[in-house]
Amino acid sequence: MTIAMTFNDDLTILDIAANPLSPLDLPPEEESPLPDPDEMLTLLNSAIILERMQAARAFCELEDERAVPRLIELLQDECPLVRVSVAYALGRNKSDRAIAPLIDQLKQDWNGYVRKGIVWALGTCRATLGLAPLISALKYDITAVRLWAASALGQLGDQQAIAPLVEALTKDLTSAVRGNCAWSLGKLIVQMHRESDDDNEIYHDAVDALIYALDDDDLSVQTDARNALRKLGDARGLKVLDRIEMDQGYCEF
């Protein structure tokens, strides 16, 4: 699964350094004391933008259901720095009440960083209602959002995402997006293989797409596809992998 990304689309206004990172982006570091939740709840209502942002970021670490109603309100804050922090905070503080507001904001927010955070939150919350908007984001949004929509669809675990992921794996122009599609397809078709008869068109299309991705121009996409096929254990995919590795003189110890 690809974590690093480049922002070469219409992500205006915000500097990358100001973007609150998702937990997947954070480097390992020494633990520090968590903020005081009561103090942060008060700051969520501050008239000062930086204090609202500080409080929202605090709830990216803290879990406190008391914050959820105010975080939902702040999804429409005037400041995009607050909104993006709130999106990640709602991904941490999972609540069914937040799903519909997150989806509504995803549809209307002009800022790519905010949409990226919302997509991450919907995937983390494994929100069934998020399926259609995440598929739409994968198809039509900017690169950074498509990247996270691809992985969020894998987290969602809904097999209706397989066909859109297959399409993006074979057609998206950005290798990082294709790599995350391969990762998500691996999760979804392994689940399909365990739960039902895999003798269906969707399953075979997904395996075909992963096999096709073994010849991708990008090495990381090839690796994601290879890992997915290995994990799946599909006989046809394993046969192709073995042939490729024999041709390359590859040997696993």
What is the pLDDT confidence band of residue 183, given thresholds at 50, 70 and 90?
very high
pLDDT score, position 250: 53
CA distance 167 to 116: 21
Residue 230 CA, chain-centre distance (Å), reads 22
> Cα dihedral sign for 178, 180, 183, 187?
negative
Q: Which residues contact 154 (CB under 8 A, 6 or more apart)?
A: 123, 161, 165, 180, 183, 184, 185, 186, 187, 188
pLDDT score, position 11: 46
Cβ 1 vs Cβ 224: under 8 Å: yes
pLDDT score, position 33: 87
How many other C-beta atoms lie within 10 A of the C-beta of residue 47?
A: 6
pLDDT score, position 198: 55
| pLDDT of 252 above 70 | no
According to DSSP H, which parts of the chain are helical?
37-43, 49-58, 68-74, 80-92, 96-108, 112-124, 131-140, 143-156, 162-171, 175-195, 201-213, 219-232, 235-247
pLDDT score, position 165: 98
Going by C-alpha positions, the residue among 125, 177, 135, 154 that lies closest to residue 4 is 177
Q: Which residues contact 18 (CB under 8 A, 6 or more apart)?
A: 81
Low-confidence winner among 16-25, 78-87, 204-213 (lowest mean pLDDT): 16-25
How many other C-beta atoms lie within 10 A of the C-beta of residue 26?
A: 10
Q: What angle do CA 110, 112, 115 make, to 5 degrees?
A: 85
What is the pLDDT confidence band of residue 253, given thresholds at 50, 70 and 90?
very low
- Tokens coding 77: 């804050």
Residue 31 CA, chain-centre distance (Å), reads 25
pLDDT digits (tens, 9 = 90+) for 87-137: 999 999 999 999 999 999 999 999 999 999 999 999 999 989 999 999 999
Q: Taking all residues of the chain, what is their mean pLDDT, rounded to a whole number?
A: 87
DSSP 3-state assignment of 43?
Answer: helix
pLDDT digits (tens, 9 = 90+) for 6-53: 333 444 333 333 333 444 454 555 667 899 999 999 999 999 999 999
pLDDT score, position 94: 96
| pLDDT of 67 above 80 | yes
| Residue in this structure with the two tokens 């998020």, named with its chain if needed | 130
Query: Domains in the chain, please, with CATH?
Result: 1-22+35-156 (1.25.10.10), 158-253 (1.25.10.10)
Going by C-alpha positions, the residue among 92, 11, 89, 107 that lies closest to residue 43 is 89
Q: In degrees rounded to 5, what are phi and psi of residue 194? A: -75, -35
- Tokens coding 176: 């990082």
pLDDT score, position 234: 82
